[in-house]
Amino acid sequence: MERVNRICKHPLWRDNLEKIQELEQDRIFCCHTIEHFLDVARIAYIEDLEKNLHLSKESIYAAALLHDIGRYLQYTQGIPHEEGSVQIAKEILKECGFEQEEQEEILSAIQGHRMQKTAFADDLAGVLYRADKKSRNCAFCTAFQECHWDRENKNLVITV
Binding residues vs Fe ion (CB under 5 A): 68, 132
To Fe ion, the closest distance from the beta carbon of 88 in angstroms equals 13
Residue 83 or residue 102: which is nearer to Fe ion going by CB?
83
Closest CA to 130 of 116, 114, 119: 119
- In whole angstroms, the minimum distance from the beta carbon of 9 to Fe ion comes to 21
Shortest Å distance, C-beta 111 to Fe ion: 11
Give the residue with the Cβ less far from Fe ion, 105 or 132: 132
Q: Which residues neighbour 48 within 8 Å (Cβ) at sequence distance 6 or greater?
A: 54, 55, 57, 60, 127
Residue 97 vs 115, nearer CB to Fe ion = 115
Taking the complex as a whole, the smallest distance from the CB of residue 118 to Fe ion amounts, in Å, to 12
Residue among 18 and 35 whose Cβ is closer to Fe ion: 35
* Cβ neighbours of 17 (radius 10 Å): 19
Distances (CA, A) of 77 to 11, 74, 82, 140: 20, 5, 13, 32
Rounded distance between C-alpha atoms, residue 147 and residue 130, angstroms: 19
Taking each helix axis from N to C end, the angle separating 57-66 and 2-9, rounded to the nearest 10 degrees, works out to 20
